[in-house]
Amino acid sequence: MDQWDVAIIGGGILGTSTAFWLADQYDARIVLLEKERDVAEHTSRRNTGVIHRPFYLDPESRRIFARSAQTAYGMWKQYAQAKGLPFKPVGTFEVAVTPDQTSRVKKYYSWGLKNGMQPDELELLTAEEVKKYEPHVHCYGAVWSKTDTAVDYRTFTRSLRRDAEQRGAVFRTGTMVKSIKPTTDGINIHTSNDDKVQTRFLINCAGGNSLNVAHMLGVGMQYTDLNFRGEYWTIRKDQYHLANHNIYTIPKHPELPFLDPHWIIRADGRREVGPSALPVAGSYTYHGFFRDPIELIQKLLEPPVMNKLAVLVNRDFLQLAMEEWKSALSKKEWAKRIQEFLPEMKVEYLAKPGTAGVRASVIDEKGNFLKEAIELEGPSSYHITNYNSPGATGAPAFSAWIVNKLASMGRLDHLHPRTQSVKGSWDYQTVAESVGGSNHTLQPLDDS
Ligand SMILES: Cc1cc2nc3c(=O)[nH]c(=O)nc-3n(C[C@H](O)[C@H](O)[C@H](O)COP(=O)(O)OP(=O)(O)OC[C@H]3O[C@@H](n4cnc5c(N)ncnc54)[C@H](O)[C@@H]3O)c2cc1C
């Protein structure tokens, strides 16, 4: 049997950056198991590609995500520069599409400052001022976050994998975890290649599959999840001029913030509009509603069934789901949603389907969607689930914070700390403390 000190399940941006920090800090046998042939094959590539500044995150209820995003901005900026990776500052206008949303615009401005953004990175704009910058946009006012940036998270993740490997972490791609069993001194993992892997400690970063992995160990049984596919349309090139910044709209349902339409600029300059948030049956359902009928039945009957029943009797949710289906089926409905803030949008400007990614949203016993990531402890294991947007932005900071937290809980006592640190772009202690500590300035790191 293969013996490891730590095994990580999932080679998305979270698992890869966790492997990076563990190998950076410890002289240990670290393995990452990823079912696909490469890292970042799922949500970590199928996303909007925005480095989100944390102006829209409540500094109290979304504290860790806000701090992770704030800390990580400077990290990514420095990393992209050091490695020659795409980094395109585009800026975001978060616009009020109804008069009553202007109070939320102001709230976002104050949250941005509370979360550590600098006053010159944010500006409140009236509708007329928005018109000066974006003449085609209709709104009642906006907050302009000037440093939101377009990147390619797949290239970031691949590059982080190389850095982790240089520090000694082993990436086993094409290796799917089929079952996990606790033993007296760790965990036994059975993989699709019929390998038997033994680890003293397991970290579950399996993204849309993370709750299923936790359930294999009887952990997090009070939770279940629902999957929503976010679809985008690529805009016809001759209409790129309709907006030169990202245009996001204030969420109509703050508890379901992923539903509101936006216009984004990709790192390569493409313009896309989206997303829909179509309920689908599985984490990898990129087309249609389910990949096979068994998958759908399994999803609906997956315990605990009560959580899903609680959501399914929620009229707001059902209405939203219906609306999402309508726009998934009709391009005209899509264009209509975008016209809310870009009245000149026409069906024929939607050139072809863009990227689609699936979000797994965890729901509790009362049918509430949980906003922050959930950390669950198990026997010789730690599970991170509900790691949703802006998870890609915050990953290098959030993962340092997790590693630091595990160390302070004594869960990494079996590892040997490195006596000499490896030279790299980021300082572990500063990053971890910037997310979790109270005596720091919350500046984006190294954003000199
Ligand atoms: C439509 C959409 C747009 C988004 N846009 C943004 C954005 O602009 N900015 C931002 O910051 N965030 C964004 N996000 C969120 C962000 O993409 C995610 O938070 C982040 O990518 C999650 O990373 P992850 O590593 O947890 O998951 P993933 O990238 O899904 O990685 C999990 C990995 O685990 C592997 N795995 C699963 N089960 C097993 C198993 N049994 N054995 C082995 N391997 C397994 C999978 O193959 C996968 O590679 C967006 C999300 C969506 C859905």
Mean pLDDT to the nearest integer, 169-194: 95
Query: Is 33's C-beta closer than 6 angstroms to any atom of ligand 1?
Result: yes
Mean pLDDT to the nearest integer, 88-96: 97
| DSSP reduced 3-state for 272 | strand
Which part of the chain is CATH 3.50.50.60? Answer: 1-87+150-222+370-448
Query: Is 42's C-beta closer than 6 angstroms to any atom of ligand 1?
Result: yes
- CATH class for domain 224-244+253-369? alpha beta
Residue 155 dihedral angles phi and psi, to the nearest 5° = -70, -35
Query: Is 199's C-beta closer than 6 angstroms to any atom of ligand 1?
Result: no
Mean pLDDT to the nearest integer, 194-201: 93
Percent of the chain exceeding pLDDT 90 equals 72
* Distance of CA 43 from the midpoint of ligand 1 (Å): 3
Q: What number does the ligand 1 atom closest to the CA of 191 have?
A: 42
* Distance of CA 235 from the midpoint of ligand 1 (Å): 25
Among 44, 56, 148, 199, which residue has the most ligand 1 atoms within 8 Å of its CB, making it the best to mutate? 44
* Distance of CA 44 from the midpoint of ligand 1 (Å): 4
Round to whole Å and give the CA distance between 225 and 303: 10
Token pair for 179: 């079952």
Token pair for 360: 């797994």
Round to whole Å and give the CA distance between 430 and 169: 22
Which part of the chain is CATH 3.30.9? Answer: 224-244+253-369
Query: Is 373's C-beta closer than 6 angstroms to any atom of ligand 1?
Result: no
* Distance of CA 399 from the midpoint of ligand 1 (Å): 14
Q: What number does the ligand 1 atom closest to the CA of 393 have?
A: 11
Q: What number does the ligand 1 atom closest to the CA of 359 have?
A: 53
Round to whole Å and give the CA distance between 226 and 412: 32
**Which residue's structure tokens are 């890292």?**
39
Least confident window among 40-54, 223-237, 382-396, 425-439: 425-439
Burial label for 254, CB within 10 Å (0-12, 13-18, 19+), is: exposed
Query: Is 48's C-beta closer than 6 angstroms to any atom of ligand 1?
Result: yes
Tens of pLDDT, residue by residue over 292-315, are 667 666 766 777 777 767 766 666
Among 37, 47, 71, which residue has the most ligand 1 atoms within 8 Å of its CB, making it the best to mutate? 47
Token pair for 215: 């359930």
* Distance of CA 136 from the midpoint of ligand 1 (Å): 33
Least confident window among 30-39, 52-61, 430-439: 430-439
373 neighbors 384 (Cβ within 8 angstroms): yes
Round to whole Å and give the CA distance between 10 and 283: 13
Q: What number does CATH give the domain 1-87+150-222+370-448? A: 3.50.50.60
Q: Residue 20 above 90 pLDDT?
A: yes
Query: Is 53's C-beta closer than 6 angstroms to any atom of ligand 1?
Result: no
Q: Residue 442 above 50 pLDDT?
A: no
What does 331-384 look like in DSSP terms, one character per residue?
HHHHHHHHHTT-TT--GGGEEEEEEEEEEEEEE-TT-PBP-S-EEEEETTEEEE
Round to whole Å and give the CA distance between 377 and 415: 19
Among 175, 389, 398, which residue has the most ligand 1 atoms within 8 Å of its CB, making it the best to mutate? 389
199 neighbors 186 (Cβ within 8 angstroms): yes
Local confidence band at 444 (pLDDT 50, 70, 90 cut-offs): very low
**Amino acid at site 270:** R
* Distance of CA 338 from the midpoint of ligand 1 (Å): 26
The closest alpha carbon to 395, from 155, 92, 6, 73, belongs to 73
Higher pLDDT, 295 or 373: 373
Higher pLDDT, 438 or 203: 203
Tens of pLDDT, residue by residue over 128-161, are 999 999 999 999 999 999 999 999 999 999 999 9
Ranges of beta strands (E only) in 129-261 are 142-145, 149-150, 170-172, 177-183, 186-191, 196-204, 224-235, 246-249
pTM of the model: 0.94
* Distance of CA 195 from the midpoint of ligand 1 (Å): 25
| DSSP reduced 3-state for 315 | helix
DSSP 252: S
Local confidence band at 207 (pLDDT 50, 70, 90 cut-offs): very high
